[in-house]
Amino acid sequence: MARAKEQRFTLKERSWIMYDWANSVYATNIMAAIFPIIFGTLARSQGVKGDQLLSYGVSIATGVVALMAPILGAVADFKGMKKKLFTAFWLLGVVATALIALTSDYRVMLAGYILSRIGFSGSTLFYDGFLTDVTTNERMDKVSSWGYAMGYIGGSTIPFLISIGMLLAFDYSAFAQKFAILITSAWWFVFTIPFLKNVHQEHYIERDASFSFAGVFKNIGHTAREIVNDKGLFMFMLSYFFYIDGVGTIINISTAYGTALGLNSTAMILALLVTQIVAMPCSILFGRLTKRVTARRALLFAIAVYMVICAVGFIMGYTLEPRQAAYDTAYGLHSKAQEEAFVRDYAFEDADGAKEALDDYLAAAKEPVASSNLDKLEELTLTLPDASAADDALAASATEALRASTLAFAADNTGVISDQQDARGFSSTLFWAMAILVGTVQGGIQAVSRSFFGKLIPKKRSNEYFGFFDIFGKFASVLGPFLYATVGRWTGRSSWGTLCLLLLFVIGFVILYRAKAPLERLTASAE
């Protein structure tokens, strides 16, 4: 009976776990699934590559937090500061997320995303630091793993499902998209209240009259030297830098990558829903796995699975891109021919309005032809705002001519269309496989990394150490998206950008594998 009571979570532990429930909707709706599709589609409609632009936005946001992390961590270790800093960044994230829904300009939307991402990343820095305040070393793996598990099954899945339902019910309308963003902000706000009420800083440094920022920087330097001089801790953090780079980049660019490849948005969102469902039990299992095979071995296993994920992601894009490019080229030539015929055959009074209507028609017809959903062409018409009777008559005639020529294009290019359809089907299957594989290790690798680090560091200086832990993670998140975007731009193929991530996982695996002896000594001394 006493053992059963001991296994129950305390009020502090439950409230700490609840913040994962609160903020995980941001990780799903904004970072991973819905917002990248909304942003990518909007940017694409304005002639901009959304996946690359969003990757640069991630790099900027995480870079800002990474530069601030050691200083913020050192200040947070002083009595009363951790909760204040947590609250400031949490509010920034909640408010900036809500503001994203108020614009349709992709540039303003990107700026709001960067600010909200800074708020999210900053609040999780202090949240991680509170782990040492709410539990013991013996329970740390369990509490950390349950945090991720509850985040996946509740904070991600419930509002994620509601958002998907709204998007499907309202056919991805602007209202449904704004709702998916606003529910993120509201959910994050409401379910953080237990954390604010019940979690307090138990371990701290007294802030005396000699407190100064010069002293803070001195402490940061002292901590940095301690980390570098401790071989086990330094090797773990160096390994973490590389493998968490891959983890974070996969979270951030998976749907943007799929959108750039032209995969079905609804299918991608449903696949990521499966990721959340699979991740919940697997996160808990990882916490238990550390009792059997040690945290280090559990992390090595997770890194190996991510290597497979990278290979699957590369194949997914590498097989589809040339076939998609062939279709894009063929359709581009068709569009150019239609534009020339349009100018030659029709003299609209509102020439500019007619050109804009033609561009809209050709853009809207591209996907139905690609998917052989030719009945959809019956719904497409040339529409000019405030058109005269003469222009309306010309638009009706031009619509029939465009429909006929588009059907003829589809008939003349069956081979090209069939090839890209087969490649899309294969890549969609691989996306589902990748989503399931990610679900098995995503929560576990993050939870065990956090708790393993928490057990190795001094409790009174937990936030200062977690500041360095965070800077390693955040600078990794600068490198990964930057490499993906840059290599994708150089090569013209996003699949080569995903291949960079495999190298990062390999480096992280090798360093952690070679860190066995120093980590065993450090773990023994920390117990």
What is the residue extent of each domain of the chain?
A: 8-322+419-526, 325-417
Beta-bridge partners for 78: 205
33 secondary structure, DSSP code:
S
CA dihedral (367, 372, 373, 375) in degrees, to 10, reads: 120
CA-CA-CA-CA torsion sign (287, 289, 293, 299): negative
Would you say 303 and 449 are in contact if contact means Cβ atoms under 8 Å apart?
Answer: no
Say how far apart CA 367 and CA 373 lie, in whole Å.
8
In angstroms, rounded to a whole number, what is the distance separating the alpha carbons of residues 259 and 363?
Answer: 16
State the CB neighbour count (10 A cutoff) for residue 166: 18
Task: Give domain 8-322+419-526's CATH architecture.
Answer: Up-down Bundle (1.20)
* Beta carbons within 8 Å of 351's beta carbon, 6+ residues apart: none
One pLDDT digit (tens) per residue for the chain, 527 residues? 344 444 788 999 999 999 999 998 998 889 877 888 888 878 877 767 677 788 788 878 878 887 787 788 778 877 888 899 999 999 999 999 999 998 888 888 999 999 999 999 889 888 988 988 898 888 888 898 888 888 877 766 788 889 989 988 888 888 998 999 999 999 999 999 999 999 998 877 776 645 556 666 676 777 778 888 888 888 998 999 899 888 888 877 777 777 777 777 777 777 877 887 888 888 888 888 888 888 899 999 999 999 999 999 899 888 888 998 899 999 999 999 999 999 899 899 888 899 999 999 999 999 899 989 899 888 898 888 888 889 889 999 999 999 999 999 999 999 999 999 998 889 888 888 888 998 899 888 988 898 888 888 877 777 778 777 777 766 656 677 778 888 888 888 888 888 888 888 999 999 999 998 888 888 776 55
Q: How far apart are the first and last CA of the chain?
A: 27
CA–CA dist 346, 401 (Å, integer): 11
Amino acid in the structure at residue 17? I
244 alpha carbon, distance to own chain's centre: 13
Give me the amino acid identity at 517.
A
Element (H, E) at 254: helix 231-261
What does pTM read for this prediction?
0.73
CA dist 478 and 489 (Å) reads 17
